[in-house]
Chain A
Amino acid sequence: MGDIAITVKSLSLTRQRSARHVKEWVIDRFIYLNAWLAIAFIALIFIFVAREAIPLFYEPAAKAEVGWGRLFLAQNYGTAEAPLPYVWQPISTEPKYSLMPLLLGTLKVTIVAMMLAVPLAVGAAVYTAEFAPGWVREVIKPAVEMLAGFPSVVLGFFALIVLASWLQDAFELDFRLNALNAGLALGLAVIPIIYTVCEDALGSVPRKLREASMALGATRAETTLRIVLPAALPGIFAGVVLGFGRAIGETMIVLMASGNAAITSWNFSESVRTLAATIAAELAEVVFGSPHYRVLFFIGTVLFLFTLGINSLGAWMIGRWRRKLTGGA
């Protein structure tokens, strides 16, 4: 009798266990699939974009019009007195597809944005994480993070109407819309990204490190500068890299605030045209399958590889720092 009861009980237990096991397995697979699905989507998007771009290099029509040399090297456009080596003029009797003004423009805007955003965001993060009293932190942190949810079209509009006039009046610039104007607005969009990551990085530095430093007689400023900042450096670097990626890919702000003239010069007060803004401005109109269409997808591929490269570089450097910090200490 008793034996049977025990057997029945253990049977129902195993059944319960196996049911739970199945459920767990299903959930596990589901999450696993989701993770891979995200990667698969990105890969598929990349494949699609690249597939539209690649015929640029073998289709006869595209080859005649574009080619590597025309994309990147100096050409003899313009006249002998006024040579124009790098020109982006896709709608023309002789279409000109030099990517150099676009690359330079993207770089200029990004440099301005990073020069504004990095010191401000890292400074704000250090202040809120290390020095600010609790209530100040409770105000600043959500306020800065809210800036991340700001629609970029609003920032762009602000730069187009207000900021551009201020800058022009203050510095008597030739171009009302220019790299400086777009870069500053872009910086506002990048600040919250860098700030959030930096703040988390500083917060995750163990208390023990700070306490040990203080116990050895270091001041709060010395502790922050010599102990906490170096320890959080990988995280800060990750924030900067993420911000850089956002700055390169951001479209709406630069489209509205930069003037979009494809000029090749290092003058930051001149108008610029960026890679992302070019795609946004021109893709809707282009004839499908034309060389121009292929070039725009090629730009998309370049942007994709750019950000991928930058993020990988960031990840690699973070890994090295971390090893150094843990292994070396």
Chain B
Amino acid sequence: MKELRAMLGALSASLVLLGGAGHSLRAQARNITVKGSDTLVILGQRWAEVYMSKNPGSAIQVTGGGSGTGIAALINGTCDIAESSRPMKEAEKAQVKQKRGKEVVEVPVALDGLAVYVNDKNPVSELTIEQIRKIYTGAIKNWKDVGGRDERIILYSRENNSGTYVYFKEHVLENADYYPTAQTLPGTAAVINAVARDPRSIGYGGIAYGKGIKPLRVKKDADSPAIEPSMENVVTGAYPISRFLYWYLAGQPTGGLKKLVDWVMSKEGQAVVENVGYYPLPENVTAKYAGASAKEPKAKSRKSGGM
């Protein structure tokens, strides 16, 4: 009898799933699926663990695959929350609207800093944003032009499917193209590994310290002080290459989904960010979210301002 009821339950659930109503049912009553950025996946999983331990009965499933993968899943309706390390493009937002009939809601959930690293044998230890741009666009090809040895500069970049690649291109290269000789590698770890093996190389990625590499101090312009990429400097905004990491939802969250997003934006959720090694949001961002969230459910999609 019990089995029969379970079978009937499963059957009716799958029937509902077949119908259009299935998705919202799964999103609210069943598990929440989070998908996207590899930069964010560890943080997402940690959030899920802590949240589930505090809210028995909730189920959150977090997978990576890249920012674009998550956004594609949001468009196709196969995930509830897309994690992204780059802002969503207008074309993508339009696709969500067209396919799912809902406005995209953007929530900045954490801060991340990008470091530029060189081999630790390289005498150069600080560069201006402009110098970094010239190096990556091919205007500067030799280390001696930025105070280093007379050696060719070997460029390492991320694969163009990464949010990091896009962010660096927009904010450091000012949308100019990477020079064609830039070698693209999958993941920050691969870039660090490559830079550690080549004294003439330069690379960029999440702020990390590894054997054989040296994160550069970065100057906003020639007259500004050189700023160390540290947590303090990222959170205060003194370090010039930092970005928001986002969660994207289709339509204003309700029920369990809203509860989760609210929790992530709370002091507790932001404490998890710090434990994992990312940077918590500045207080004005969380306060803005809290204000809008209280007024819900009719608020417009939040813009994170600047970045």
Contacts and interface: CB of A to CB of B under 8 A. Distances in A.
To the question of whether A and B form a pair in one complex, the answer is yes
Nearest to A286: B68
A25 interface: no
A270 B181 contact: yes
A281 B159 contact: yes
A87 B180 contact: yes
Interface string B165-193: 11001000001011011111110000001
Given A82-B138, A93-B175, A176-B197, A271 B75 contact: no
B161 A174 contact: no
Interface in B172-227: 175, 177-178, 180-186, 193-194, 197-198
B180 A175 contact: no
B183 A287 contact: no
Contacts of B197: 164-165, 176
Nearest to A259: B183
A264 B180 CA distance: 9
A234 interface: no
A91 B160 contact: yes
Given A175-B154, A176-B198, A285 B182 contact: no
A290 interface: yes
A329 interface: no
Nearest to B152: A174
B208 to A, nearest CB: 19
Contacts of A168: 198
Contact of A177 (B177, B186, B194): B194
Contacts of B154: 174-176
Interface string A276-290: 000001101111101
A95 to B, nearest CB: 10
Nearest to A270: B181
Contact of B66 (A90, A165, A259, A285): A285
A168 B95 CA distance: 47
Nearest to A96: B177
Nearest to B139: A82
Contacts, number: 87
Assign chain B's interface to a size class: 35 or more
B160 A90 contact: yes
Interface in A237-293: 255, 259-264, 270-271, 273, 281-282, 284-288, 290
B180 A263 contact: yes
Interface string A90-108: 1111001000010000000
A284 B183 contact: no
Contact of B65 (A176, A259, A284): A284
Nearest to B69: A284
A252 to B, nearest CB: 11
B161 A261 contact: no
B1 interface: no
A18 interface: no
Contacts of B166: 91
Contacts of A255: 186
A312 interface: no
Interface in A157-207: 161, 164-165, 168, 174-177
A286 B152 CA distance: 33
Contact of A281 (B91, B177, B186): B186
Interface of A: 82, 84, 87-93, 96, 101, 161, 164-165, 168, 174-177, 255, 259-264, 270-271, 273, 281-282, 284-288, 290
29 contacts: A84-B180, A87-B180, A88-B180, A89-B180, A90-B160, A92-B169, A92-B175, A93-B175, A96-B177, A161-B193, A176-B154, A177-B183, A177-B194, A259-B183, A260-B159, A261-B155, A261-B183, A264-B180, A270-B181, A281-B186, A282-B160, A284-B68, A285-B66, A285-B67, A285-B69, A285-B160, A287-B89, A288-B72, A288-B95
Given A261-B184, A287-B68, A287-B95, 4 more contacts: A91-B165, A176-B198, A285-B160, A288-B95
